[in-house]
Structures are given as C-alpha cells and as structure tokens.
C-alpha cells in the first residue's frame, strides 16, 4: 500500500472513530441528563446517519482493492444498517423514542469506536494488542445486542405503522408488492444475512488472535 493510500485510510478511520466516540458521548449525556433512553435518536441520530452514509466508502475501498475485505460483506452490512436507519427510524417518529433505538445506537457506537480505532492503528503498523483483542472479542456481545433487541425488534414494531401509513406507496406503486411486504421479507432473511457476517468475524477472530499466539509460542 502506497503512502498516500495509508494516509487516506488513516484519516478516514480516525475521523470515523472520533465521530462514533462523539455519538457515544451524546447518547450517554442524554441518558444521564434525562434519566431516560428515549432521547437516543434526538441526541445522536443525525450524526450517526451521516457516519453510516459515509461508510459506503468502505464498499468502494473493498471494490477497488484498497483494503482486502472485498465489497460484498461491507455492502451487506452497509445496506442493512442504512435501510434500517434512513428508511425506517428517520421516517417514523413513532419508533424514534423506543428503547430499541438506544440499544442499537449504543451497540453500534461502542463497536465502531473499537473497529475504527483498530483500523487506524493498523494503518501505522502499531496497533496495541488490547485494541486488537477488543476488536475481535467485543463483537461477540455487541453485534447480537445491536441486531436482535435492536434492529430486528424495531423493524418488527414498525410493521403496523408502515402498513397504516402505507409508507413509500408512490415508490412501490409500479411493483406487485408494497414496502410493507418488502419489510416482512427483510425481517425473514435478516437473521440469516447477519449470521453470515457474524460467522465471518469469528473466522477473523481465530485468524487474528490465535495465530498470533501460536507465533509467540514458536
């Protein structure tokens, strides 16, 4: 990787880490000041939406070979999160104050601070082991937390609201199904797509942590 590419990736990952750290701080400050989890979206929703949209760059990074991840898995994660965030949470005031939004945002923020910090330190070739360990261990709890009681539960709770409002009726007018039908299909396949990503991270964990330990023993 050339020096310019390293500088770009270092800048991108550092800014993302800072952004997600700020969102974590905003969520926690709102929680402490209001003693309620209902303000997670109002306190950090816009920033998180911006950071998530900007993460499409990671799909491009993989597609052009700037990073070895490829484009498919980053696209799956980006697409799932962005649809959840922009198509559902930002459009439905009724779900924005639900506890599941707090759970999702908190899990996302912590996991992304860890992930982007790991990437940033790796760009300079000096990533502390404890950050690497967190990167490939914290996801075991944070990812299911963000997806199960977070994303999937919110989408399920949004179903009757989507049906009542006939959400995106104009967009789907030329199709043989509604957005409500689309969302039901998404709910069915979402756990399977997420499991693919989750198991991929376990394979990475085995590679990054255990092989490193084996090298030290050798």
Give catalytic status of residue 143 as yes or no: yes
Residues 6 or more apart whose Cβ sits within 8 Å of residue 49:
85, 86, 90
- As a dihedral over the C-alpha atoms of residue 98, residue 103, residue 109, residue 114, rounded to 10 degrees, the angle is -170
Angle of helix 99-123 relative to helix 153-165, nearest 10 degrees, comes to: 120
> Is there a contact between 139 and 163 (Cβ–Cβ < 8 Å)?
no
No. of H helices and E strands in the chain?
A: 11, 0
**Exactly one of 136, 151, 179, 180 is catalytic; which is it?**
151
**Exactly one of 119, 143, 179, 190 is catalytic; which is it?**
143
User: Is residue 59 classed as helix, strand or coil in its secondary structure?
Assistant: helix
Give catalytic status of residue 58 as yes or no: no
Distances (CA, A) of 137 to 170, 173, 198, 200, 203: 44, 45, 12, 13, 12
DSSP 76-140: HHHHHHHIIIIIIITT-HHHHTSHHHHHHHHHHHHHHHHHHHHHHHHHTT---HHHHHHHTTTHH
Catalytic machinery residues: 143, 151
């Amino acid at each position: 990787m050339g020096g310019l590419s390293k500088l770009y990736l270092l800048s991108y990952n550092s800014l993302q880490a800072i952004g997600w750290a700020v969102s974590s701080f905003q969520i926690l400050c709102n929680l402490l000041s209001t003693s309620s989890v209902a303000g997670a979206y109002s306190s950090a929703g816009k920033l998180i939406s911006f950071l998530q949209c900007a993460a499409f760059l990671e799909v491009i990074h993989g597609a052009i070979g700037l990073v070895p991840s490829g484009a498919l898995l980053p696209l799956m994660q980006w697409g799932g999160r962005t649809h959840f965030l922009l198509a559902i949470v930002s459009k439905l005031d009724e779900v924005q104050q639900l506890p599941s939004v707090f759970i999702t945002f908190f899990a996302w923020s912590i996991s992304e601070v860890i992930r982007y910090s790991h990437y940033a330190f790796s760009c300079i070739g000096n990533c502390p082991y404890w950050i690497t360990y967190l990167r490939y261990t914290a996801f075991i709890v944070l990812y299911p937390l963000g997806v199960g009681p977070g994303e999937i539960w919110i989408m399920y709770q949004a179903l009757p609201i989507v049906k009542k409002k006939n959400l995106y009726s104009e967009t789907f007018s030329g199709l043989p199904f509604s957005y409500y039908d689309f969302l039901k299909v998404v709910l069915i396949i979402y756990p399977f797509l997420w499991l693919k990503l989750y198991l991929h991270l376990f394979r990475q964990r085995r590679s990054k942590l255990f092989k490193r330990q084996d090298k030290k023993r050798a």
